[in-house]
Amino acid sequence: MEKSLKTQNYGADQIRVLGDLEGVRKRPAMYIGSTDKSGLHHLVWEIVDNAIDEAMAGFCDYIKVTLLDDGSVEVEDNGRGIPVEIHPQEQRSTLEVVLTKLHAGGKFGGQAYKASGGLHGVGLSVVNALSEWLEVTVKRDGKMYWQRYEYGKPVADVQEIGDVDDPNISATVVHFKPDKTIFSETRFDYEVIRQRIRELAFLNKEVTIELRKDGQEPEIFHYESGLAGLLEEIAEGDQKVTDILHFSGEQQDIQVEVAFVYVDDFDETIVSFVNSVRTVDGGTHVQGFRSAVSKTLAEVARRKGLLKDNNVSGDDFRQGLRAVVAVRVPEPEFEGQTKGKLGSKQVRGVVEDIVSKAFDSYLETQNEVMKTLVQRALASAEMRETFKRTKEMMKNRLRVESTVLPGKLSDCSSKDVERRELLIVEGESAGGSAKQGRDRTIQAVLPLRGKILNVEKANWKRVVDNEEIQALIAAIGTGVSDHFDYTKLRYGKIIIMTDADVDGAHIRTLLLTFFFRMMRPLVEEGHIYFAQPPLYKIERKRSKDVTYLYTDEELQTFLKKHDGENFEIQRYKGLGEMNAEQLWETTLDPETRNLYRVTVDDAEKADELFSILMGEKVQPRKEFIFANADLVKNLDV
C-alpha cells in the first residue's frame, strides 16, 4: 500500500539499533532513577515524552493519557505511528525492535527527530522490560497493528488486526501495567501526573493533552499563553516588580524561549526544560540564562551611570527573579537517563547570547525599571554583607558548640556511622520509653521539648541561639548552612518520632523545615526518616493476643475480617502511652518496624510548599488551606 503523506518519511530505515535489554530488570534504577514512586511515574514520562517528540517534530497535536482501575496506564498520540515493516538490520518487525532493543529509535537516525526529549532511545523498551504486561496498537497507512508483551518478551508476532477508514489517520497506543515485583509502589498518583501534563501543555501550546481516570470526567489541557502562562502560575501570589518578559530565538539549530519577571521577594526561582523534559537540576541552559540576566543588568546600569558599586554580585541582580527557561536541542547531553541536568556546553553560549541581546534592547528604553532593579541589587548586596558579618560572628561559637554533645542525648555505643541511628523523640515521656526500649548499640535518643523554632521565619542568629536546635546541631555533628560538613555526620539514620496527632504533624513539619533549610544534604542523600508508630492496639479478650494497626483503614479491614469477635481496642494518642517493650516491638525494632524515608523528588515544589506553609506571607497560606480543606483527616477543635 502507498504510504500516507504523514508517515512516508518515517519508516524502518529511520530506526537505528544500538543494544539489547540486558540488565534492565536487574538494575532498573540505572534507567529510571529508582524503583519507588518516582521511578514508577518515570515510566509514564517516558511514553508521554515520546508523544511530545512527535508533537515537536510537527506530526502530533493530541495526546490522551488514561489511568485505569487495574493500575495500568494507556497513552495514545495521533503522531505518525511506530513503523511496523521488517527492519533491514534485525529482519523482524520494526515495532518489536523498538520494544525489545535498548537503544533503538528514531532519535538515532538523524532525520526522524530534530529535537527529542527521549534522547537515549531507551524509553519504550525500558517501560516494556519493567511491565507485567504491555500492549501496543499502531495505526499506519490504512492498517491497524497490535502486539502484546509480558515481562518484556513478546507473546506473539505483530498482528494486523483491521483497517483504518482514513489512510491519513495514524496513531500509537501504549497500554502497560508496571511489574509489582520490581516497584515498591505501583499506584499512580493522579495529581503528580496531572502536574506534569499541565507543564507539557504550557510548553507545547500547539498540543492538546487529555487526562482521564476511570470513572471520572476527563481534563483537557491546552494553553495558548505558553511559557508566559506557566510563569504566571509560578509567580502567583507574588507582587510583581516588572512586567513579564518573553524572549525567544534560534542559533546553531538550538531554539531558546524564556519568560521571566521580578517579584518583591528575596529568592530566585528558575524552572527549566530541555525538549519539554523538566531539568530539575538545571544545567548549561540555566547557567547561560543566569549569566545573561546578571551581566546585562550590570552593563546597562553602568552605561546609564546608575551603578558604581563593585560589590554587587550576580546573585544580587537576580534577587526576586522568577523564570522559565526552555530550549530545544538536536542532540542534548544529559547527566543520566533521567535527564535531570543538561551538560551540552554549546547551549550556554547560545542562551546567553539570545537573552543578553533581547534584554539589553528592552532595558535601554526602561529607565524606571532599571532604577528599581539597581536599587534592589544594591539593597541585596548590603543585606548580604550584613548577613555575612553576622554569620562570621557566630561561626566560632557554633563550631565549639557542635563538638560538645547535649546533656539530654543518650548516645549509642557503635562506631559505625551507617549503623548508628538518632531517634528524635517528641516529649520527655516518650523519650524515657525510647531510652529504655532501644538497642543501645546502634540507637541514640534525643528528646525534644515542645515545638522547635520555625526556621522559615527566623533569622540566622535566632536559629543558632535556640536551645532545641543547638541540641540537634550538636548531636548530628555536621554543622549547618555554609558550615555544613558531611564528613562529620554522626548517624546514618536520623529518625523523627512524633505522636500521630495534629501537634505531632506540626513538629514533623518544623523539623523537616529545619533539615531542608539548614542541613539540606541530609534530605537529599536520604538520611532523614519518619517513624511510623501504631495508631491502635487490638487485644483479644480471651487469648490476650495483641495486634498493632497503623491506620484507620487497617482498623476497618481488621474489624470486618473478624466481625463478631469482641476485642479491646486502644487508640494511642502519643508515644508516651507505650511502655518500653511495646515501643521496641512496634516502632524501634529494625526487623519489624515501618520507616518512611524522606526524599526530595522535586526541590522546587518542596521549596514552594515550605514557603507557603511556614513563611511570612499570609495570603498564599490561606489559599492553600482553602484549596485543600476537603483533604483534612485529623482536626483538633
CA 126 to chain CA centroid, Å, is 20
The rounded distance, in Å, linking the Cα atoms of 96 and 92 is: 7
Give residue 117's pLDDT.
47
Q: Is 501 a catalytic residue?
A: yes
The rounded distance, in Å, linking the Cα atoms of 548 and 242 is: 57
Catalytic residue among 53, 426, 456, 468: 426
Q: Nearest-5° angle of CA 27, CA 33, CA 35?
A: 65
Give residue 599's pLDDT.
77
Question: Could you tell me if 249 and 363 lie in one domain?
Answer: yes
CATH code of the domain containing 304:
3.30.230.10
Catalytic residue among 13, 333, 439, 503: 503
Spans of the chain below 50 pLDDT: 1-2, 18, 106-113, 115-121, 602-604, 606, 628-637
Give residue 14's pLDDT.
65
The rounded distance, in Å, linking the Cα atoms of 376 and 317 is: 8
Question: Could you tell me if 217 and 273 lie in one domain?
Answer: no
Give residue 399's pLDDT.
54
* Domain interval for residue 38: 12-221
Question: Could you tell me if 175 and 281 lie in one domain?
Answer: no
Q: Is residue 477 part of a domain?
A: yes
Query: Domain boundary at 350, 383, 416, which?
Result: 383
Catalytic residue among 501, 554, 601, 607: 501
Q: Is residue 483 part of a domain?
A: yes
Question: Could you tell me if 50 and 190 lie in one domain?
Answer: yes
Give residue 261's pLDDT.
95
Question: Could you tell me if 208 and 275 lie in one domain?
Answer: no
Q: Give the count of beta carbons closer than 10 Å to the beta carbon of residue 205.
A: 14
Give residue 633's pLDDT.
45
Q: Is residue 3 part of a domain?
A: no
Going through 217-367 in order, the beta strands assigned E by DSSP cover 219-221, 245-251, 254-262, 269-274, 277-278, 321-328
Query: Domain boundary at 353, 383, 413, which?
Result: 383
Question: Could you tell me if 367 and 424 lie in one domain?
Answer: no
Q: Is 499 a catalytic residue?
A: yes
CATH code of the domain containing 491:
3.40.50.670
Give residue 244's pLDDT.
94
Question: Could you tell me if 338 and 433 lie in one domain?
Answer: no
Give residue 6's pLDDT.
63
Summary mean pLDDT of the chain: 83
Give residue 404's pLDDT.
64
Q: Is 426 a catalytic residue?
A: yes
Give residue 273's pLDDT.
93
Question: Could you tell me if 447 and 467 lie in one domain?
Answer: yes
CATH code of the domain containing 37:
3.30.565.10
Question: Could you tell me if 198 and 250 lie in one domain?
Answer: no
Question: Could you tell me if 513 and 422 lie in one domain?
Answer: yes
Give residue 340's pLDDT.
78
Question: Could you tell me if 376 and 418 lie in one domain?
Answer: no
Question: Could you tell me if 198 and 49 lie in one domain?
Answer: yes
Query: For the segment 509-566, what is each residue's pLDDT rounded down to a tens digit?
Result: 778 878 887 888 998 888 999 888 888 888 887 777 888 888 888 888 888 888 877 7
Q: Give the count of beta carbons closer than 10 Å to the beta carbon of residue 435.
A: 18
Q: Is residue 560 part of a domain?
A: no
**How many independent structural domains does the chain possess?**
3
Catalytic residue among 96, 238, 499, 608: 499
- The tally of CA atoms less than 13 A away on the side-chain side of residue 549 is 16
